[in-house]
Amino acid sequence: MAIRDLQILLIEDDTHIRSILTTALAAAGAIVIPATRGKDAHRIASESKLDLVLLDLGLPDMDGVALIPLLQQACDAPIIVISARFQEQQKVAALDAGADDYLTKPFGIDELQARMRSTLRRSGRATPRPSRSRYEHQGLSVDFDTHQVCLAGKPVHLTPLEFRLLAVLVRQAGKVITHRQLLREVWGPHHEEDDHYLRIYMRQLRSKLEANPAQPRFLLNEPGVGYRLFVE
Ligand code: CA
């Protein structure tokens, strides 16, 4: 999906940033609907057909993190957070609340557009293909039915837990999955704090899937936040 076809809700109370982004995205052909307050944004999300939401976190009437679940109830467009909050816990909070990606201000318009494209590719891939039982990309193939994993055509033997960890990352390839989300999905809700499980199993997975585990090609670390499966 090209940016020129998009209807974008831009939630940003800073007049200067709002105007720069609106101009740049409109120049790329998108239709930008601006909102400065959370309440208005929620109403627009309920009434409009949106393809993407760009969300600042410091809003005059509410915290953007609290707005994320409300937006998700109102529409199914992916949400990219654009915020000056740069601390890891703040990124984790937004991603855990359901944001699809996070961009720290200041950022360039090219980077924003690249993140927009990758978020849209991902959300397009995740929804309309129900029988996606196989992932194949960059020499890595994962069969969700047989649990077989191959690297450059060669089978890789994974333990059931290693497979589950890889499967969570592969199903949302490209997206940062927080430590907490990974622990919950792989080990269960009582293990959300057990970061050491993740470290151990990620090391094992890298040793099986990466040519050089110290410089991983697939299983990327987002320091303090989580992991993502790299897709170019
Ligand atoms: Ca703000």
Per-residue pLDDT band for 130 (boundaries 50, 70, 90) equals very low
Instruction: Please give the pLDDT value at position 156.
Output: 96
Instruction: Please give the pLDDT value at position 172.
Output: 86
* Cβ-proximal residues to 80 (8 Å cutoff; 6+ apart), any chain: 52, 53, 54, 55, 99, 100, 101, 102, 103, 112, 115, 116, 119
C-alpha dihedral, 194 to 91 to 75 to 18, nearest 10°: 180
Q: What CATH number is associated with residue 17?
A: 3.40.50.2300
Ligand 1 centroid to Cα of residue 88, in Å, is: 18
Q: Give the range among 79-83, 100-104, 168-172, 207-211 with minimum mean pLDDT.
A: 168-172
Q: Are residues 71 and 145 in the same domain?
A: no
Instruction: Please give the pLDDT value at position 129.
Output: 39
Ligand 1 centroid to Cα of residue 216, in Å, is: 35
Strand, coil or helix: 31: strand
Examine the pLDDT at 202 and tell me if it is beyond 90: yes
Instruction: Please give the pLDDT value at position 127.
Output: 39
Question: In the predicted model, what is the mean pLDDT of the chain?
Answer: 90
Ligand 1 centroid to Cα of residue 60, in Å, is: 7
Ligand 1 centroid to Cα of residue 68, in Å, is: 15
- Enclosing domain of residue 142: 134-229
Q: What CATH number is associated with residue 164?
A: 1.10.10.10
Instruction: Please give the pLDDT value at position 2.
Output: 73
Ligand 1 centroid to Cα of residue 64, in Å, is: 9
Ligand 1 centroid to Cα of residue 125, in Å, is: 31
Structural domains counted in the chain? 2
For 50-76, the pLDDT digits (tens) are: 999 999 999 999 999 999 999 999 998
Q: Which of 86, 104, 123 is the last residue of a domain?
A: 123
Q: What is the largest CA-CA distance in the chain?
A: 55
Ligand 1 centroid to Cα of residue 92, in Å, is: 18
Q: Give the range among 92-96, 101-105, 168-172, 217-221 with minimum mean pLDDT.
A: 168-172
Q: Are residues 96 and 196 in the same domain?
A: no
Per-residue pLDDT band for 132 (boundaries 50, 70, 90) equals low
In this structure, is residue 189 part of a structural domain? yes
Ligand 1 centroid to Cα of residue 187, in Å, is: 37
Pairing state between β 101-104 and 52-55: unpaired
Ligand 1 centroid to Cα of residue 69, in Å, is: 18
Ligand 1 centroid to Cα of residue 21, in Å, is: 14
The neighbour count for residue 229, using CB atoms within 10 Å, is 23
Q: Are residues 48 and 152 in the same domain?
A: no
Ligand 1 centroid to Cα of residue 12, in Å, is: 6
